[in-house]
Amino acid sequence: MKVKRENFVLKEFLQYSYEDAPLPILDEQTISQPTTVMMMTDALEVKEGQKILEVGAGSGYQAAILAELAGEKGKVITTDIISEVCEFARENIRNAGIKNTEVICYDGSTGYEKEAPYDRIIVTAACPRIPQPLIEQLKLEGIIVAPVATMFGQEMLKVRKHETSLETKSLGYFVFVPLKGKYGLNR
């Protein structure tokens, strides 16, 4: 893969770029550990040309990987509610030469209706449940991958939208920072 994690971490953590561990970025946010990023990416089943919404831009690393998979004809919209984090992601994506990704400083827990509908949606912070606006902005047969807080921890869910139902699969338990915003854990 052309996306190098070292281009998305803070300088003081460069030596840990390829450790399988989350690393701090700005404002108590993190860049997820590589195995978690790859598991979530694999679960999304991204195809070339798809439009993807990411809720929680972080450093821009996950968006960069998704952009690579979506290809020139695809598009990634990544949102973050924290302006400092948005600027960090925007700068990292620009420096990596990625053209098919837009960083929006916005409450992504409400989706981003302006660009909807989406083929895929990924949430990179723990939410109390899959936000209804995300389900509404997902195309039929689209996939959402998100960590959802339960009384046992945070369960990673893969949700496929069918015409009259949602098919949900558990991908295991993880630890993520809380989603901020209207439909987040920290409202």
What amino acid positions are annotated as catalytic residues?
Answer: 32
Q: Name the CA radius of gyration of the chain, rounded.
A: 15
List of residues 6+ apart from 169 with CB closer than 8 A: 157, 158, 159
Give 158's DSSP letter.
Answer: E
Region of residue 49 (left: phi > 0; alpha: psi -120 to 50; beta: else): left
Are 3 and 96 spatial neighbours (Cβ–Cβ below 8 Å)? yes
